[in-house]
Structure 1
Amino acid sequence: MTPWTFLKTSLAALALTACATAPVPASGGSDIALSPGVGWVANNPEWGAEAEKVYALASDYVEEIAATREPNTWAVALDIDETVLNNVEYQIRREAVGGGFTPESWHAWTAEKAATLVPGAKPFLEKVNALGGHIALVTNRSDTEQLWTEENLAAVGLERNEDFRVLLTRARPDGPSDKTERYELVTAMLAAQGYPGVEVVAYVGDNRKDRPEPINPDDKFFCINQGEMYGTPCAKLPAPVMAQ
């Protein structure tokens, strides 16, 4: 066995062990050959700068909304993964062992509650709340992962009631990945909490399906460029992301 072969084998074994136990360090300085999208999110400061630009555009928009609406009458719906929480460490681990997404590995990752914040997400949520809006999080994470998700959000400084009022997950094993019906529940859930007549005025996500379907061209949609890691991305590298 050559030294290079031994090194690659050792790295793969270490990553596989880490997936089952403790988090591994981010791979910024490792010899793992990451896919272009994962490498961009993991190692290129441009990714964070683009995410902050998208959130700045969304912030400008909600300021306009707040100037014309009464408090507690409007809301913004956001996806979670690669929109609020950054899971690039999960992708690094999977690529380190030559694997892709699996429900089992994802479930183990969510149990760690180790995802980090997407740059710009927390200031945006704080602004919406300060301006009198509500935040709803609509995700394809499983209902069995909801508690871990809330604990992960709390770990990065985002608390239920203070930062978001609604969190809707996907029922497993048969719940549809299309989130349209869950988006439609947002206003009803806010009404049940004492806020009737709320309108969702914008959507924020990381792929083109992070808004209700069929797509209404009048919906305000802001999309984070997540390096084409999941779903149908809104931009291809290295194109800048703009509000749609």
Structure 2
Amino acid sequence: MGSTMRRLVVATLLTMLALSGCAQVAESCDERAPALGDEGKADGPAGVDVLAMLAPGEGREATVTGARDQLGYVLYAEAGTEVKLEVTHRGSSRGFDSYLQLRGPRRADDGDYPEVLATDDDAGYGQLSRLTATVPEAGFYLAQVSVDEEARAAFTEARFRLLLTCEGSRCDADGPIAPMGDDVHWVRNAAEYRALSIQAYRTATAQIEAMHAAGELPPSWTVTFDADETLISNAQHERERQELGLGYSARAWSVWVNRREATAIPGAAAFTARIHELGGHVAVVTNRKAADCDATLDNLRTVGIAPDGILCRVGTSNKTTRWQMVEDGRAGDIPPTTLVMWVGDNIHDFQAMGQEVRHEDESALEAFGSRFIIIPNPMYGSWARNERL
């Protein structure tokens, strides 16, 4: 991101700090929650971010912070297996005072790990933790690393490395905790999904080209996009969470965003390039947090999408104010402009729209296929909170 664009993005976002709440009454606008697999499932014990599977001999490294001070890894063990877990000296921050628990087995009905099998404070090197426990039955267990209670008041951040070894029986899973759901399978593998996405972007292209040919586009014009499941796909992340038997986790989501591995939605790169060819601007207004904005921009550019401005979320997830900022010329390199089209996967990605429109006459959806272009997303969204009739 150039220095001018970065300053404009940061300044734009800081003006939003005083804003809070969602302007769409009776609707939660946070499109990331509830996420895939979060219906009736806990993400481990309350407050624990479960990050990945843990295999024998595989040292997993992560960072705990004051805000995210309980992290978990899932392991599989056969009945009678002696499980050894250690927060190792190598790979862990100097002076880190860890606390280690082994919980389980996992309950199939809600995904929780209610029983604590073993705990340790500082049986390892220095103030690091090490424990050994024999698991009572075959199943999935949770290794939970946290900051020692007495050290939390002065704690800010530390890295750690967690190592698993097993004796007496198997300690690795043949497969994931849960199978891939039909929603993620459809997005990742269905010809229909690819066809629908390409169809949507071809419709958008035809609309813009027709407006251009008819001289209907203003001197400065912009198409505004959501990011997730609109320009880039997070289906791989959703698959990884599903296979852990988990739903949305803020920590795991931020780790995924910073991996910069989201792929382009079919048709998205070609449409954004066509906008630039015709003299327009590309704005991205996303509910990814401001702290993840640089990683998001990097990811977009990697897959061939070059926004002229990007506005991430600070405070409210409602996008109305940020759309106005785009029009006012307060988004990256975009001058004062007119928004001529909205593209998104969530009903809240469109001006003056909410889930209540599903009860209205078809005329309320008249803009779809012209000014509004929607990309299919069966994995998550505000629709998940609608009543199940």
Query: What band does the TM-score fall into relative to the shorter chain?
Result: 0.7 to 0.9
What is the deviation of 1:225? Answer: 0.5
The one-letter code matched in structure 1 to 2:339 is V
The one-letter code matched in structure 2 to 1:54 is A
1:186 maps onto 2:334 in alignment = no
1:223 maps onto 2:374 in alignment = yes
Aligned partner of 2:351 among 212, 215, 222: 212
Larger deviation, residues 37-46 vs 200-209:
37-46
Which residue is 1:42 aligned to?
188
The one-letter code matched in structure 1 to 2:349 is D
TM-score, scaled relative to structure 2: 0.48
Q: How does 1:106-185 map to 2 (within 5 A)?
A: 106-158=253-305, 163-171=306-314, 175-185=315-325
Q: How does 1:74-89 map to 2 (within 5 A)?
A: 74-89=221-236
Distance 1:194 1:232 in 2: 32
What is the deviation of 1:19? Answer: 9.8
Aligned partner of 1:98 among 228, 232, 245: 245
Q: Deviations over 1:118-175 (max 9, x none)?
A: 00000000111111111110000000001111111121122xxxx321101001xxx1
Structure in which a larger fraction of residues adopt strand: 2
Distance 2:228 2:60 in 1: 19
Classify the secondary structure of the residue corresponding to 2:179: coil
What is the deviation of 1:13? Answer: 2.6
Classify the secondary structure of the residue corresponding to 1:146: helix
Q: 2:231 touches 2:265 (CA, 8 Å); kept in 1?
A: yes
Q: 2:290 touches 2:313 (CA, 8 Å); kept in 1?
A: yes
1:13 maps onto 2:164 in alignment = no
Q: 1:203 touches 1:221 (CA, 8 Å); kept in 2?
A: yes
The one-letter code matched in structure 1 to 2:380 is M
Distance 2:350 2:317 in 1: 12
The one-letter code matched in structure 2 to 1:130 is E
Instruction: Flag the 1:20–1:85 CA change in 2: closer, same or farther, 3 A.
Output: farther
Larger deviation, residues 206-215 vs 58-67:
206-215
Q: 1:38 touches 1:88 (CA, 8 Å); kept in 2?
A: yes
Classify the secondary structure of the residue corresponding to 1:65: helix
Larger Rg: 1 or 2? 2
Give the total of aligned pairs: 205
Instruction: Flag the 1:194–1:202 CA change in 2: closer, same or farther, 3 A.
Output: closer
Seq. identity, % = 31
Distance 1:73 1:186 in 2: 11
Distance 2:199 2:230 in 1: 13
Classify the secondary structure of the residue corresponding to 1:138: strand
Q: 1:38 touches 1:229 (CA, 8 Å); kept in 2?
A: no
Q: 1:36 touches 1:227 (CA, 8 Å); kept in 2?
A: no
Q: 1:19 touches 1:93 (CA, 8 Å); kept in 2?
A: no
Distance 1:185 1:72 in 2: 18
The one-letter code matched in structure 2 to 1:42 is R
Structure in which a larger fraction of residues adopt helix: 1
Distance 1:19 1:86 in 2: 26
Q: Which runs of 5+ in 1 are unaligned?
A: 1-11, 22-29, 234-244
Which residue is 1:60 aligned to?
206
The one-letter code matched in structure 1 to 2:276 is N
What is the deviation of 1:44? Answer: 1.3
Q: Deviations over 1:90-129 (max 9, x none)?
A: 1001111111112111111001001000000000001111
RMSD after superposition: 2.7
Q: Which runs of 5+ in 2 are unaligned?
A: 1-51, 63-174, 355-363, 385-389
What is the deviation of 1:232? Answer: 2.8
